[in-house]
Amino acid sequence: MSRDWEAELSSQLEELVMSEERSAPAPTVDAGSALRRGRRVRRRRAAATAGAAAVLLGSLTVGLLQGGGHAAPVQPAVPTGGPALTEPSPLAGHVRFGWLPDDVATVDTSWGRNSSDQQLATAASDRQWMLGSSDEDPRTDPPRPPGWQPEPGEAEITRTPAPAVNGREAFWVSVKGVTLLELRFRDQDGRWLSVSGMGSRALDKDVLSRIAAGVQVGRYVLPVPVSLDASTPLSSVIAADFRRTVRGAGGWQLSVQVSVRDNATVVISAESGSLPADPSPARRCASGEGMWWCAAPFGPDGPSPKVSEDDVKAWFDRLNPHGPDESTWRPVLVP
């Protein structure tokens, strides 16, 4: 896996931890601690902006399905029936982008425990769009306890009416001092959704309105090139991230973090292309058909001492590569 992408993924997981800690009930397994232990803590330059977006959008993970400068060519999703998800599933959601600007280069689809849908399209570090669900009604202030006063330095949020999106009410939401603009709008079932432009070149209201108008609502489970076998319980999966290029050779990168025990974590990595050199003797890898896949202990500074070679082998043996043909791809957890 390239170090640049690994750094960005670390940043995304950091934001996921912060978001989940704000809103999730106390879990029986400390997923946040496992994530903190299981990554190299390297912030990308956009982390502050992404953090502000997480505050606006609520408890969300990062990701999206493919898009282009017209109606986005949506990656095939596994039909699951029903209008909405009834339980968590890795890389599953109920919203995805339709239309996206021509210069979008990569798209990310991510999943984490106790998280709502969120999708991210990136054209450049100063030009990103985030789609997600919103738990906050923009027509009213969030509930405050009696005598509440803002903390020093607390973000100042402004909400103003916006043009209707597909005939339904909408609001602009912005944060003073942050290069972020959010358009919050309703879907056909009355749920509040949100599209945010992040970065100085992503704040065009006409573009945000067009993106919002093209959002697709349904029930989607994203297929990937490498799956875990059917014996894997959902409770073992901490987080998953799948990145694809929109144009060119169709490259992709997959990372899945799984819990071994307590806060010990194994990371499953896979990517199109040739297997990169890695000095870690603890990882297990294989390659073929223009792709590679690995399992390795995941720690902040190197292999975790809590994860044995047998642990790594056990998770590696669960991996099922499907090859480059997208018609053969399956969900992260094979049904």
pLDDT of residue 264: 86
pLDDT of residue 298: 82
pLDDT of residue 30: 33
What angle (nearest 5°) sits at the alpha carbon of residue 217, between those of residues 212 and 218?
165
pLDDT of residue 288: 93
pLDDT of residue 154: 65
- Intervals of the chain under pLDDT 50: 1-87
Task: List, in order, residues 6 or more apart from 225 with CB less than 8 Å away.
Answer: 252, 254, 270, 272, 291, 321, 322, 323, 324, 329
CA–CA separation, 131 vs 196, rounded Å?
7
pLDDT of residue 257: 92
pLDDT of residue 293: 96
Is-contact 244 271, C-beta < 8 A?
no
User: Mind listing the domains of the chain with CATH numbers?
Assistant: 92-135+155-221 (3.40.1000), 226-328 (no CATH)
DSSP SS3 for 327 = helix
CA–CA separation, 306 vs 314, rounded Å?
15
Task: List, in order, residues 6 or more apart from 28 with CB less than 8 Å away.
Answer: none
